[in-house]
Amino acid sequence: MTNREIIALNDRYLFPLYPRAPIAIVRGEGCRVWDADGREFLDFFSSTVVTSLGHAHPAVTRAIVAQAGKILHVSNLHHSEPQAVLAEALCTHSFADRVFFCNSGAEANEAAVKLARKFGADFGDGRFEVLTATGSFHGRTLAMITATGQEKVRRGFQPLPEGFRYFPYGDLDALAAAVGPHTIAIMLEPVQGEGGVVVPPAGYLEGVRDLCERRDLLLIYDEVQTGMGRLGTLFGYEQSGVAPDVMTLAKGLGTGVPIGAMLANARVAKAFTAGAHASTFGGNALACAAAVAVVRTLLDEEVIENCRTQGECLRTRLAALKSSCRRIGEIRGAGLLVGVEIDGPGGAVVDACRERGLLINCTAEKVLRFAPPLVVTADEIDRAVDIVAEVLRA
């Protein structure tokens, strides 16, 4: 089928919920993808920051094929080897003692909020309120659009679940003032992705942790976008040295295979006992086998070091471009999650880059987001920045 034929079918039968670009991606390899008409693109968006190891990574492909030849799915009423091995790997290399598997980032965040509320009911004097940051994004379920600190995603869906309030991201005094008698947890992203690639000020996460200790609150990190090597360490929180009580993962965990995870330390995890929460497909054998291959590759193949090196290369190239292009404002981010603020709406820039063979996206209306696979090369970064320069100077 051609681009035109695939787009026509989508337009006829799918809900028009996404502002889709006029291309149909049919194949990928590393940082490159091809559309149905055979045109090649550099994927510097990693298909919504998902394909952490790029497209069709050999280790992940082998794991998927091998698992598919054994069994695709095992009920959570029975044990599954891929699920057990993945849980061990995630706990061994993080602060966590327990893992719950699900299918997406929104489900992982739902599980984190439910765990916090259950902990509050059982051990926290009945406290239930979760504070989240303005500009945050935590998912599209009803509870998670309520948790999300962006009014535009909540509009039209009232009444919303109770028990969420917001604080300004990066302001410790305002956060301390927001804590109330019913507050049980603070939930935030170590770096805000959808909010415009916003990095908190130095010492902020340490201050949040200290506040949690002093006010007997749980700290929940939403690492759906920042986890799995994206910021240059396996988990984003490692860069501050501030461990949470609960953490969520998704996007890069399966590098394209849908899987989410909610991790917690032993003190908090004890609130979830049999029957408190569940997922039919969570911990699916195929998804877990793929994620095991992702974790092992991240740990064994110097991919994270490449993320740090190429992330610095990308920011250096963009900074050089800024010196000769007035349209560029602040450049921010960490690892291979980089935001470039420009002087107006970014949609037209994204479209023009795509026409020249580069896929990026725009968030917070005027922040170009660069999140290539962690296996990106210096040559690919040079080509991508050259395309952005052509567009911004046109």
Q: What Rg, from alpha-carbon coordinates, does the chain have?
A: 21
270 part of the active site: no
Cβ proximity of 230 and 53 under 8 Å? no
Residue 346, both tokens: 């970014």
Which among 35, 42, 40 has a CA at the least distance from the CA of 2?
35
Active-site hit among 251, 272, 366, 370 = 251
CA distance 229 to 51: 12
Active-site hit among 41, 44, 137, 272 = 137
Active-site hit among 43, 44, 118, 222 = 222
As separate numbers, helices (DSSP H) first and strands (DSSP E) second, the chain gives 14, 15
Cβ proximity of 163 and 130 under 8 Å? yes
Identify any residues that bridge with 332 across adjacent strands, giving them in sequence order.
339
Sign of the Cα torsion 138, 142, 146, 147 reads negative
Q: At what angle do helices 285-300 and 58-68 cross, to 10 degrees?
A: 150
Instruction: Determine the straight-line distance between the first and last CA of the chain, rounded to whole angstroms.
Output: 34
251 part of the active site: yes
Q: Is 248 helix (H, G, I), strand (E, B) or coil?
A: strand
Identify any residues that bridge with 260 across adjacent strands, giving them in sequence order.
102
- Indicate left, alpha or beta for 241 from its phi (over 0: left) and psi (-120 to 50: alpha): left
Question: Which amino acid does the sequence have at 206?
Answer: E
137 part of the active site: yes
CA distance 264 to 270: 9
Q: Whats the size of the chain, residue-wise?
A: 394
Q: Which residues are catalytic?
A: 137, 222, 251
